[in-house]
Chain A
Amino acid sequence: MTDLMVTLFNGLSLGSILLLIALGLAITFGLMNVINMAHGELIMIGAYVTFVMQNIFINYIPEQYFDLYFILSIPIAMVVAAAFGMLMEVSLIRYLYKRPLDSLLATWGVSLLLQQLARTIFGAPNVGVKSPSFLEGGVEVGSMYFAYPRLFILGLALVCLAGIYLYFYKTGNGRRVRAVMQNRQMAECLGVSTRKVDLITFAIGSGFAGVAGCALTLLGAIGPTIGTNYIIDAFMVVVVGGVGALFGAVAGAFGIGFFNTVFEFWTNASLGKVFIFLLIIAFLQWRPSGLVTTRSRSLD
């Protein structure tokens, strides 16, 4: 019973991490159909922003406020990553909307560029980020133990999801984005500035990658190549969830998270990965377009 509960929670937790890293991609790849290989590096940017914020707080801010650095890092990481996303969109991606394979190669180039940039600025070795004290430890329920960082990431993923939902489904801007994605010409005819919508949408997607990067500093290494650790998982979630469907990504993330945990619990980490890939391949045979299908301009 305890085992089952622990596995369930672990699956939920892994699912929330996957969701967080895939949310941004669900927008840029899912909605806009840009195969953004530099998504991982946008995550990396978020992580380094957290590192820089920590150092600023250590050096310039009184010690009792130290824990605030992490809270502040989240919006700042989002803004910085979004700015990088905008830069990418303006300088590169806008020319490649109709050419997905070219955008694949071009963004891969960008990812290498960003990795090297990080290496030049911060050095090749990993850097350390100290978790804020309010995220140390955990809460014990019976014989189970829930770590605060895990609960925090779960909460953060849900907040981000809610934010995206409200933006895309409850605001005028969001409605315009969906309109452009569904039928670009028609939207243009009705006076929507598609250039602006593309730019903003891509920036939002990139911004959420930054948030994910910030959260990942709680769990893992921060170095120039961390993006490569997460990019495959992110694409996997979006594809399983269904390209073009935001909420497919949610189901995809928690599904993969749960099955991965169960497989890993039964066998081991390497075999667990193999099984999850097998499962995904089989699943895509059955439903080639993922869990949820929606029409978007990419599918027409």
Chain B
Amino acid sequence: MKRKMSTKYLLLLFVLSISLLAACSAADNAANANEPEEDQASEATETKDSSNQESEDTIKVGVLHSLSGTMAISETSVKDAELLAIKEINENGGVLGKQIEPVIEDGASDWPTFAEKAKKLLQQDEVATIFGGWTSASRKAMLPVVEENNGLLWYPVQYEGMEASPNIVYTGAAPNQQIVPAVDWLLENRGKKFFLLGSDYVFPRTANAAIKAQLEAKGGELVGEEYTPLGHTDYNTLISKIKSVEPQVIFNTLNGDSNVAFFKQLQDAGITSEDVTVLSVSVAEQEIKGIGADVIEGHLTSWNYYQSTDTPENKEFVANYKAEYGEDRVTADPMEAGYFGVYLWAKAVEAAGTTDVDAVKEAIKGLEYDAPGGPVKVDGDNQHVYKTVRIGEVGSDGQISELWNSGEPVKPDPYLETYDWASELSEALSQ
């Protein structure tokens, strides 16, 4: 009897560790859904390969995103946007008179897999460049690989900054193109009492360290700072805490499913956007569909692009994206950054006259392009891009309408060097 019980206890520990593994690594789902795509890709590779031997009329590029696991939710649509750009370029004659041939790999939401696949793409497939990544962890995993093999990676997502690898082009926002202006705008328009809420990992903690320094310098007041584990589902207690300190602004750096739970339960608690403004930096059109527009209506976001952004390039992008993938699909900031990244690369290759990485790196300095979200320009010093900052409000249809924009593209400053209040911070964080 006693012995049976201890086996049972061991068994339970096993169950817990397995389920933790299942929750965390999520490499498990590498199964069926993406197989057809990979098949297609490899078929494409095969057919193209045969022609390749004769005339070398294609240029291979890597597309490396998580097509399975927890991050598949976000990354598959970025992959779709990048493939759309490749298709469009090919229809217009390709680059250097050659067709671009995407080699699609699955990072499976698993950071070592990203490094492995990046290595495979560079060494085995000898791709000219890689478009890929979403989480900072996946970027940090690929960074040494692309640097060692002198590859070129286009990373399409906003991130915490404090990095500038010569082999990575960052087409998403640096902190000074998303977070810093958002805090300034909130202080001016919505109130001084801030509550910082984030998921418990590197991006929210780094971002909040910067926000705290900024608040102190600009006369804001910090009334609370809370972190919840990734995948946290019960926000009742936290909302009670928020209620008791009565902030005017909640700066939300939660990531993933937690956003859904937080916004639903905030509404349940009777707190609307009129009582307190929640500004999110990880919630875009795609995520709003999962949260429910009625739940998050009236709250704010800060990005460089919205589906509603009014440029001729964007009308075309949205129309083409919907035509390719379905009317019910939405476009969002990281997708736009992935999309124009492909165009920037193609333009740089044309300018350099070759796909050689060193020549292309030289050619991208100062390169300009009219992206769907407005004109962008690559900063030669840190491989980030100048982008327009846009603060928007979620409407009842799930679309985000712009309340404010920076008017002109903002120079990227990944180390926040131009801000006095951040001087100590960047030293501490970049170590």
Contacts and interface: CB of A to CB of B under 8 A. Distances in A.
Interface in A100-137: 100-101, 104, 108, 111-112, 115-116, 119-120, 124-131, 136-137
Contacts of B76: 124
Interface residues of A, number: 64
B29 A116 contact: yes
Contacts of B70: 225
Interface in A1-60: 3, 6-7, 10, 13-14, 17, 35, 37
Nearest to B292: A128
Interface string B1-40: 1001110110110111011101100101101110000000
B218 to A, nearest CB: 26
Interface stretch (A65-73, A164-172, A226-234): A226-234
A136 B266 CA distance: 12
Contacts of A149: 268
A111 B22 contact: yes
A37 B227 contact: no
Interface of A: 3, 6-7, 10, 13-14, 17, 35, 37, 100-101, 104, 108, 111-112, 115-116, 119-120, 124-131, 136-138, 145, 147-150, 218-223, 225-226, 228-232, 235-236, 239, 243, 261, 264-265, 268-270, 272-273, 284, 288-289, 299
Given A104-B15, A239-B12, A299 B4 contact: yes
Contact of B29 (A13, A112, A299): A112
Contacts of B207: none
A115 B29 CA distance: 8
A288 B5 contact: yes
A141 B29 CA distance: 47
B240 A265 contact: yes
Contact of B292 (A10, A104, A111, A129): A129
B29 A119 contact: yes
Interface of B: 1, 4-6, 8-9, 11-12, 14-16, 18-20, 22-23, 26, 28-29, 31-33, 70, 72-73, 76-77, 200, 226-229, 231-234, 236-238, 240-241, 244, 257, 259-261, 264-265, 267-270, 286-287, 289-294
A10 B237 contact: yes
13 contacts: A7-B237, A101-B11, A112-B29, A119-B72, A125-B77, A125-B286, A219-B264, A220-B260, A220-B261, A232-B20, A232-B23, A265-B237, A269-B238
A219 B261 contact: yes
Given A115-B29, A116-B31, A270-B228, A127 B23 contact: no
A284 B292 CA distance: 41
Contact of A264 (B16, B238, B244, B287): B238
Main secondary structure of the interface of B (DSSP, over half): helix
- Among A126, A273, A288, residue most surrounded by chain B Cβ atoms (within 10 Å): A126
Contacts of B9: 284, 288
Contacts of B33: 116, 119-120, 124
A100 B20 CA distance: 19
B231 A228 contact: yes
Nearest to A264: B237
A229 B73 contact: no
Nearest to B31: A116
B32 A261 contact: no
Contacts of A289: 5
Contacts of A126: 73, 257, 260, 287, 289-291
Contacts of A229: 23, 231, 233, 257
Nearest to B14: A104
A152 to B, nearest CB: 10
A268 B16 contact: no
Contact of B226 (A35, A130, A268, A273): A268
B31 A112 contact: yes
Given A138-B268, A219-B234, 8 more contacts: A100-B11, A124-B33, A125-B286, A147-B265, A219-B261, A220-B264, A222-B260, A269-B227
Given A128-B292, A219-B264, A221-B261, A268 B227 contact: yes
Given A220-B264, A225-B26, A137 B270 contact: yes
Contact of B18 (A108, A136, A147): A108
A124 B236 contact: no
A35 B19 CA distance: 12
B321 to A, nearest CB: 15
Contacts of A265: 237, 240-241
A232 B77 CA distance: 30
A243 B8 contact: yes
A104 B18 contact: yes
Which 5 residue pairs are nearest across A and B when measured between Cβ atoms? A126-B290, A221-B260, A221-B257, A128-B292, A269-B228
Contact of A222 (B1, B18, B240, B290): B290
A127 B15 contact: no
Contacts of A235: 12, 15-16, 19
B11 A35 contact: yes
Contacts of B265: 147, 219
B234 A17 contact: yes
Contacts of B289: 125-128
A239 B12 CA distance: 8
Contact of A147 (B16, B232, B270, B287): B270
Contacts of A145: 269-270
A96 to B, nearest CB: 14
Given A126-B289, A288-B9, A37 B19 contact: yes
A111 B15 CA distance: 13
Given A149-B268, A273-B229, A288-B5, A232 B29 contact: no
Nearest to B6: A288
Contacts of A273: 229
B276 to A, nearest CB: 15
